[in-house]
Every structure is written in structure tokens, then in C-alpha cells.
Chains A and B, each alone.
Chain A
Amino acid sequence: MADALSLNGASGGNSSRARFQAEAGERGIRALLSGAAGTSVLCVAGILGFLAWFSLPLLQPGQLAAVLSWTWQPTSGRFGILPMAVGSLLLASSAMLLAFPLGLGLALFVNGLGPRVLAKHLGALVRLMSGVPTVVYGLASMFLLVPLVRASFTGTSGFSWLAAMLVLALLVLPTVTLVLDGQLRLVAPELRLTTAALGLSEAQSLVRLALPQCGQGLKAAAALGFGRAIGDTLIALMLSGNAAQVPHSPLDSLRALTAHIALVLATDSQSQAYGSLFACGLVLFGVSLAVNLGLRALRRGPRRAALSAHSDRPLPGLETAATGLAWASALLVPAALAALLGFLLLRGLPTVSLALFFGDTLPLDALLHGAPVFDGLWPACLGTLWLVGLAALFAVPVGLAGGIHLAEFATGRAARLAAFCVDLLAGVPSILMGLFGFALILLLRRTFWPSANTCLLLSALCLALLVLPYLVSATRAALAGLPQELRLTCAALGLSRWQAVRRVLLPAARQGILGGVVLALGRATEDTAVILLTGVVAGAGRPGALTDKFEALPFTIYYLAAEHQTPQELNLAFGAALTLLALTLALFALARRLSDGAWRPGT
């Protein structure tokens, strides 16, 4: 900061007043930027504060013991949340146990253990997977996997720990794979020449040398995947059966904390059941905090393990085992994905028609004159469009400004706190954003805004919270990825820090930032858990006002999957799933293209 000012001073000049104004302007802009970065701190503090505030009644004598018990039977006054806490842990850990080796296998496959031509396609497939909405996985699994589990084993309805675990593993797989892939990409190339010169095969080089150096990457992948798994609501809600018990076998039904919040939020807002939900929220928040702290500790640790540490362990057959794992993953994962998405296409494609969107209303009437549409997806499409648009309106300016601040201006403790809060916010389960929004409305109604209600605006605000950290991180990373020489050149030309950011750095980082924005849009489009608690309904028609209830595609899928009264309504769900999938895949593909085209020297 000081050097920028002195540089400006050194540029000398006769119009000191103009310079003073420019400096004041720059200070104003910087204040705005740091304010934006501070928003993430406020958000985290707000969510935590709400959870703690509403959990407070539990601190009365005997209450805490009642909540930390093993029986959930509100009708007989028992509000134990431990079965759900155990359910969440079991579900997330088991999903990780499955996803981690598969992810490792995929990462090894694309980094040299598989044929190059396949590796390229597999890499694309994994990235595509990260664009599949959870509710779409949920729908396809409900009608393909659950009946399969029911038919394959005796004594299970199919809605089980096993079914939820398998799909959840698929859901977190891209996260695990992409982190590991990123790590291997960092270390493998520089080792390749050396190991080739030593006469080692590619497999030996990868497994014996590159992988041991990725120790932190392995742990980071596990932590991130676990955080994603435990924070998911829809898979657990749709597939696990939701019995409030500790399961005895993978074929039993279980209830996760996130699904529990979604199921029970409904109850009387002054009851113990309601209070215990915030305890669930605190537990979930605690888990994401722990995951985050773990990740930070990893980042601070020594960057690489010593090479020699592993040379004295021969472990014969390691290469064969790794190659086997890589091939098994490369076959299993695409097969599972093809089964689910193939099923979706099979059921969804025949439903695609104008009637899918407009029901029995004339499309032109609906489009031009706003004629109401019943039994069609049009209102839900419009609702999603409004929702994502509004969320972007709130989140994009704040996220970009926060990212710029963290990348270019922030220093010291405040900056570290802001960065930490951004990471933490990214790990907070989306259902907590919804819980936050719902509790906020209740609080507002009881205090100074008696007519506050769950509505489109509230959902958009909560969704903005959800995508804010993606925007900050993407902007920050895009700016941080620019070569340092750019900044030096700007300074040497006498540009102030903000001038440098605005005229040179931001244009140079444009594509990376845009990629982040599009990715955030995709995330907002597919989320179901947030809107579930903040104002979405099954039948609202076209979105009218910001304070109205609304329809949205992901909720329509969730609702119709469980509630369809006729085969036609179920078809509507598959049609909606296909529409949503097309939408998010397009957004993710676009984000990918933009990020790929990010800064390269010479452009």
C-alpha cells in the first residue's frame, strides 16, 4: 500500500489536487473491496450466530442430555439426534471409502496408467460428472438403483444406507479425482524425465515416486470429499429411507443430519424438536470447520515428503495393483454413470415436447401473454431463471470484489481471517444456508418486520451465500495466477494499484473470473436444499413478485419423484431432470472452456 502511494508521488506533477482526488477515490474503492471481502466473515458469523442463538435453549438443565440421546420420538418427548449424527458419519465415511480408491484409480489412469486416448476422454467424463445435479442422481437412483437393491437382497425395501452410499460415492468422486489429478499433474512431469533416464516404467514412476509425493493431496482429497459427502442433503433424503435409527447393516434404512433438518423443519417453531434442529446444524457446522482446519494444517505442513523415505520398501506388485485399480475404476465409474444417465435419457427423452413445458396451454400464449401454465415445466423454468439471476445479482459483485481484495490488497490478520471464512463458507452444507434463511424470517417477523415471509428474494439471498465463496476463490485464483511481472510493469509505468487492477490485471484474468461466475451459476441452478426451506413450492405458477413463493426445476424433480400421482406426472419429473441436466452441463462446459482459455503468457 505504502509503495503504491509513494510511486504515485514519485510520478510527480503539477496537479496535486487531482492527485489527491484520485487517491481519495482509490481509498474509497479499496474500502469497498475490503468491505466485500468482509462480507464472507459476516456471513459465517451470521450463520454460526444463528445456530448458536437458536440452540441456546438446549443449554437449560437436562435439555442437552435429551438431545444427545439415542431415541428420536417427538410424540413421546424424546429428541435424541445421535442416531442421525451416526447416520451422517457412517454414510459419508462409507461413501468416501468407496470413492477414494476409485478416485485414485481414475487419477492414476488419466496420468499415465491408462492409454492416452482413453485417458483424455475419461478426464472429460469426470469433469462432466461434476456438473450432474444431485437431485438428478437422486431421481435416477430412486427408480433404478433402489428397486435393484430391493430385488438383489432380501429384507430391504431398497431405500437404504447402501443405495445412498453408492450414489453419494458417485457424487463426491469428481471432487476426489480432480484434487488428486491436480496434485499428480504438479509432480509427475518433472519426475518423468528423470525416471525415464533411470529406466523406470511410467507405472513405476507414478506409483513409486509421484504418488508418495502427493501425501498432502491424498489427505486433502479425502477431507474435501468427506466434507462434500456429509453436507449433501438430497441423496440421503431421497434414497436412505430416513428411519431415525442406527443401522445394523448397509441394507438398513438410516437418516442423515441434513435430511433430518429437511424433514423436521416443519415442526412447531417453539418446540424442542425445532431447537434440536439447530443442534444438528451446529454439529454439521462443526464438522465442516474441522475439515477446513484439517485442510489448512495440511497446506501449512511440509510441501513434499522426502524421496528417500520410500525407497527402502520394495512392496513387489505395487505397479500391477495400481494398474488393476486404475483399470477397474476406469471401467466401473463410466459404467455406473452410463447406467444412471442412460436410464434418465431413456425415461426422459420421450417426454420432451412442447407439452412437457406448457401443458395444455398454447406456448405462444404462455410466452407472450403470460397465460398460466398447469402440468408443465414452464413456471419452474422461469422460477429457476429468476432465482439464479437474482442470486448472481447479489453474489457476483460482492464475490468479485472480495476476490480482488484478497488477491491484490489484503494483508495481515484480517486478510487471513477473510480467506479462512471464504474457505469455511464453501464447506458449509447448503441445508444450513436454508436453515439460516428460514430462521432469519422467523426472527424478522417477531421483531421489526411482521410481514416478512419465505419467498423468491430470500431463496436468492441464501443461494447467493452459497455461491459467494466460489466466486471469491475463482477471482482470487485467476488474479493470483497472473505472472508477477505484470504487476511490476504496471508499477513501473506509474499506475496506482487500483489502476493496475482495473486496466491490466482484471482484463488479463477475465476468462478465469468468468469461468468462476459461470460455475457459480451452475451451482445455484442445481441446488435444492437451500430453496427447500426458503420458499419454493410445487404449484405457484409463473414467478410474480420477489416476495412470492415460486417454483424451481430441482424442487419440481424432488417433489414429483416422491409425489407423482399419475405416470404422466412421473414423466414430467424425468423431463425436468433432463432439462436441468442439460442446463447445468452446458454451464459447466462453458465454465470449463473459459477457465481453459485463462491467462497464458503472450496472450
Chain B
Amino acid sequence: MRKPLLPTLLTLVLCALPAYAGELDAFAGKSGKIDIAGGTAHIPVMKEAAKRIMQKAPGVRITVAGGGSGVGVQKVGEGLVNIGNTGRALTEAEVAKYGLKSYAFAIDGVAAVVNPKNPVGALTHQQVQDIFAGKIANWKQLGGRDAAIHLYTRDEASGTREVFWEIMLKKGQIAPSANVVASNGAMKTALAGDADGIGYVSIGHIDQTIKAPALDGVHPSQENAKSGKYPVLRKLYMNTKGEPTGIVASFISYIQGPEGAAITASDGYIPTK
């Protein structure tokens, strides 16, 4: 919906590159609060941006909560927060029901992940589906050690779950015995501690504590997601009820601007602009 603006923005971005610090000036002397909730892949970016803004403008208060994309839609739709984040595009029904506006800021893949100690380094699409359906229940069947597979999934509010379920699992079943965790961060923590676990996270959350096996020979990286080699990807969105105004609009511009893009990139995502 903002496509016509893209070339202009890009030029603006390029012009503004040497003047990073200047972007925070939009908040100088301003006051007010911005409540943010929803998508948990977004949290590191939002927190870093909030910290920089609040250090520059003490009158501005920004709160960041998680909950998952479903929460983002619900809370922003009900007017409980100013910005509701989603790790998936809104459905037509959601847009119509609440009158939401979406602002994408990052491209992010979703990858099946395991503990770094797990010797399994590559999986096929079919294997991932069978693992999550509970048909493959032991790592031995995949060339790993003889140990039961511990499944981890996300709650139904999760956009990451939805993307993974639709594209990776082709809407196939997720075994009901899977442990449920409430965020990307929690998934990462759980798998970092469980040598026999498998789950899925936003690729931006992958670091040395967890490992993403190659999928059909393609390494799940943001670069491969962007180029289209790795198929399971989505955009990360900020959503507002109606057109944003005041510091909320400034916040969205900041995230979409060059400094926001730098934060986004340093947190492991690919900025959309």
C-alpha cells in the first residue's frame, strides 16, 4: 500500500545515511507514550529502538510486550496498544474488522532448529513434516543418536507458528504431545537446553546456542530467504489502528528509516528498505 513511496524513501534513506543520529531529533522535546505488543520476533528490534529513543527523549515512554501475532492484532484492534506487531500479513478479515494499517520493516525466515550438540545437520521438507506430525520419533531415523525427539511448538497466537505450519508443514498436523512455548525467545532458550529437542524460530533469533539444519540442501539464512532459495519466510509488520499520528508515526518512520534498518540488520533480520 506504500509502494509508490518506496523509490522516494530509498533516496531519502541514501541521503540521510551520514546523519544517523539526526533521526532521533524527531523525538526531541516530545512526550507521550507508545505501547507495543504482539509478535515476539520483533522484540529485540523494538527494545533497542525504544532504548535509544527514551535515552534521547526522556519524556517519551515506550513499553514493549510480546504475546504473539494474534495478540498484536487483538490488542491493537481493541485499542489496548498503539502498535500491534505481527510476524505474518494480516488477513482480510482482520483488516476489515479493526481498520488496521500495516507497516513492514523486515524480511525474516522461519527455520526448524535443534540443539548445536545434535549431529543431524540436514533435513528434507518431508522429514520436517514427519517429525512434527510425530511419525518420526527418534533421532536415529535421521542419522542422529538413539534418542527420542522432543517436539516444541508455539501457541496459536504465534505468527511464526502460522508461517511454519502453512509453508513448512503444508498445514499438516503438529503432534499434540509437543511442548508449547510462548515466544521465539522462549523457543530458543528451550532448545539451547535440550539436546534432543526440535522446534522452529525466526531466523533472526538463531545464534550459537541453537542450530538450523539445512532444508533440502539449502542453509536457512536470511540471505537465502531474501533471494527466494529458502522458502519459509514472511515479513515482520507493525500495525496501527487507522493512520498513526504523533510519536507513534515518528516511531514507525524511525524503525523503517536508516537507523531502524541498522538495528534491524544487527538483530539478524533483513530490512525491507
Q: Which residues of A contact B (CB under 8 A)?
A: 71-72, 74-75, 143, 146-147, 150, 154-159, 241-245, 252-253, 255, 263-264, 266-269, 273, 372, 374, 441-442, 445, 450-451, 453-454, 537-541, 544, 548-549, 562-565
Q: Which residues of B contact A (CB under 8 A)?
A: 33, 35, 37, 43-44, 47, 50-51, 54-55, 58, 61-68, 70-71, 73-74, 78-80, 147-148, 150, 152, 155-157, 165, 176-183, 185-186, 188-190, 193-194, 196-197
Do A372 and B70 have beta carbons less than 8 Å apart? no
Distance between Cα atoms of A445 and B71 in the complex (Å)? 17
Distance between Cα atoms of A155 and B180 in the complex (Å)? 17
Do B189 and A564 have beta carbons less than 8 Å apart? yes
Residues of A within 8 A of B67 (CB): 266
Nearest chain B residue, comparing its CB with the CB of A559: B66
Residues of A within 8 A of B63 (CB): 537, 539-541, 548-549
A455: min CB distance to chain B, Å = 10
- Assuming the contacts A252-B177, A539-B63, asked whether A372 and B54 have C-beta atoms less than 8 A apart, the reply is yes
Could you count the A-B residue pairs with CB atoms below 8 Å apart for me: how many are there? 126
Chain A interface SS verdict (over half): loop
Distance between Cα atoms of A540 and B63 in the complex (Å)? 4
Task: Choose among B65, B79, B193 the residue that contacts A445 (Cβ–Cβ < 8 A).
Answer: B79
Task: Choose among B35, B78, B190 the residue that contacts A442 (Cβ–Cβ < 8 A).
Answer: B78
Besides A156-B150, A243-B178, A253-B179, 5 new A-B residue pairs in contact (Cβ under 8 A), listed by A number: A244-B176, A451-B79, A537-B35, A562-B186, A563-B183
Residues of B within 8 A of A454 (CB): 80
Do B194 and A243 have beta carbons less than 8 Å apart? no
Residues of A within 8 A of B78 (CB): 269, 442, 445
Distance between Cα atoms of A328 and B5 in the complex (Å)? 74
- Assuming the contacts A158-B194, A549-B35, asked whether A242 and B180 have C-beta atoms less than 8 A apart, the reply is yes
Do A539 and B180 have beta carbons less than 8 Å apart? no
Do A266 and B61 have beta carbons less than 8 Å apart? no
Do B73 and A268 have beta carbons less than 8 Å apart? yes
Task: Choose among B43, B70, B179, B186 the residue that contacts A267 (Cβ–Cβ < 8 A).
Answer: B70
Do A562 and B183 have beta carbons less than 8 Å apart? yes
Do A157 and B189 have beta carbons less than 8 Å apart? no
Distance between Cα atoms of A243 and B64 in the complex (Å)? 27
Residues of A within 8 A of B66 (CB): 538, 563
- Assuming the contacts A549-B63, A562-B181, asked whether A243 and B176 have C-beta atoms less than 8 A apart, the reply is yes
Distance between Cα atoms of A564 and B62 in the complex (Å)? 20
User: What are 8 residue pairs bridging A and B, where the CB atoms are less than 8 Å apart in the complex?
Assistant: A143-B193, A157-B179, A266-B70, A372-B55, A442-B78, A453-B35, A562-B183, A565-B44
Residues of B within 8 A of A562 (CB): 181-183, 185-186, 189-190
Task: Choose among A72, A245, A273, A564 the residue that contacts B185 (Cβ–Cβ < 8 A).
Answer: A564
Do B61 and A548 have beta carbons less than 8 Å apart? yes
Distance between Cα atoms of A155 and B148 in the complex (Å)? 5
A166: min CB distance to chain B, Å = 17
Do A372 and B178 have beta carbons less than 8 Å apart? no
